[in-house]
Amino acid sequence: MSDTAFIDAVASESGLLAEQSQLEDSAVLRLLDQFYGLEGELIRIPTEKDETFRLQNDDGNYLVKLSPSDEDPMIVQLQTACMEHLERAAPELPVQRVVRNLDGGSEVLVPASRGPFDRVLRVMQFMPGQLLANDTPSAAQLRSVGASLARLNRALQDFDHPRANRRLLWDLKHFHRMRPLLDYVDDGARRSLAEGIFDQFDRAVVPLLGTLTSQVIHGDFSPFNVIVNPGSPDYVTGIIDFGDAVRTPVIFDISVTMANLLGADPDRPWERALRVLEGYQSLRPLPVHELEALVAAAPARLLLRALITQWRATQLPERRDYLLSHSKPDWDRLAFTSRPRHPQFASHPDPDEPSHRRDLEHYCLSPQAIQGHDQRL
């Protein structure tokens, strides 16, 4: 299969291509009353593919999700099973809880007017609080974010599901097949920047894909799916949206969080991302060769978001200006990150210095040195 055909196939399986029909709010309320015994005020929340709502009533707040009709219900069940596993295996983690319906089930199948699958109705507890995306965390708080992800990964390491090996457009193990998306980048400087990131990924990550530590991961541990309380010592008070759960190398989970922080400070573009990694390393250390691969994976994840946004702008011309305006910051941050200062991870530790801090504070590799180091992995 050509890379272009592969992208189309994976995008379809990821639920990103089909035009979605919307249920009337009144129809959603009837379903909630019939199957959950819930009623109240329904507020729509814009999301990538699901129809998503906040339901408010005297008893509290709920999150209501209705999957698209081109998404296999077994993929949705993977997400639900992931949350249920975490509730059993690590109840101390602040993961969103699934609300049972009147029959004791976690999902309700809703016949669709078009599309290959029934739609899946789910209700979850609504997690209040502030998104990490709307806060300016300290270095210690960023380490707390990384530690929370490490705890989450540790709790998921023995979880499995029949559809855990799903194909997902956002999964970085397919990144090297995404080069055809460069055809949608008109700006020469941006295309050159992107080609360099693809080249680095091909050198540093692709040869290791079969050996990297893999398990089911959250898949989108981004600042928009992490809820925080700046006044709490725990800081991370909520983890939401398991829509991108997939079995893949663990470093790709960390790369999502890091990618969202790369270039936030143009003068020190890796600083915030590395504080997250430092927190992760404190609880679940990665081997040096995986850390080196992460140096290439984090910018690749940021580039993937820019490219998918650019590509979707051509698929949805009515939203083109909106989508492209939202991808511009990603390109700017990629440019900051591409400057010739990258983190280096020492292979021969100083026994008197904490390894994760030494590794994270060492910023002296040039792109040429990284290239040579990649060839020795």
- pLDDT, tens digit, 9 for 90 and up, residues 282-335: 999 999 999 999 999 999 999 999 999 888 778 777 666 756 666 678 999 999
C-alpha–C-alpha distance, residues 237 and 34, integer Å: 32
Topology given in CATH for the domain delimited by 22-127: Phosphorylase Kinase; domain 1 (3.30.200)
User: How crowded is residue 136: how many other Cβ atoms within 10 Å of its Cβ?
Assistant: 9
CA quadruple 210, 216, 219, 223: dihedral positive or negative? negative
User: Per-residue confidence at 346, pLDDT binned at 50, 70, 90?
Assistant: low
Mean pLDDT along residues 81-86: 98
Average pLDDT, the chain: 88
Question: What pLDDT sits at residue 95?
Answer: 98
CATH 3.90.1200.10 spans which residues of the chain?
131-376
User: Per-residue confidence at 341, pLDDT binned at 50, 70, 90?
Assistant: low
Question: What pLDDT sits at residue 351?
Answer: 39
Q: Is a pLDDT exceeding 60 seen at residue 356?
A: no
Q: What architecture (CATH level 2) is domain 131-376?
A: Alpha-Beta Complex (3.90)
Q: How far is residue 232 CA from its own chain's centroid?
A: 24
Work out the percent of the chain whose per-residue pLDDT is above 90. 74
User: Per-residue confidence at 123, pLDDT binned at 50, 70, 90?
Assistant: very high
Mean pLDDT along residues 159-163: 98
Question: What pLDDT sits at residue 166?
Answer: 96
Give, for 81, the enclosing helix (H) or strand (E). helix 73-89
Structure tokens, 79: 């997400």
CATH 3.30.200.20 spans which residues of the chain?
22-127
C-alpha–C-alpha distance, residues 22 and 10, integer Å: 23
C-alpha–C-alpha distance, residues 317 and 323, integer Å: 9
**Smallest Cα–Cα separation from 272: which of 257, 292, 286?**
257
Locate tokens 């089930």: which residue?
105
Question: What pLDDT sits at residue 16?
Answer: 72
3 state SS for 284-331: CCCCHHHHHHHHHHHHHHHHHHHHHHHHHHHHCHHHHHHHHHHHHHHH
Q: How far is residue 276 CA from its own chain's centroid?
A: 15
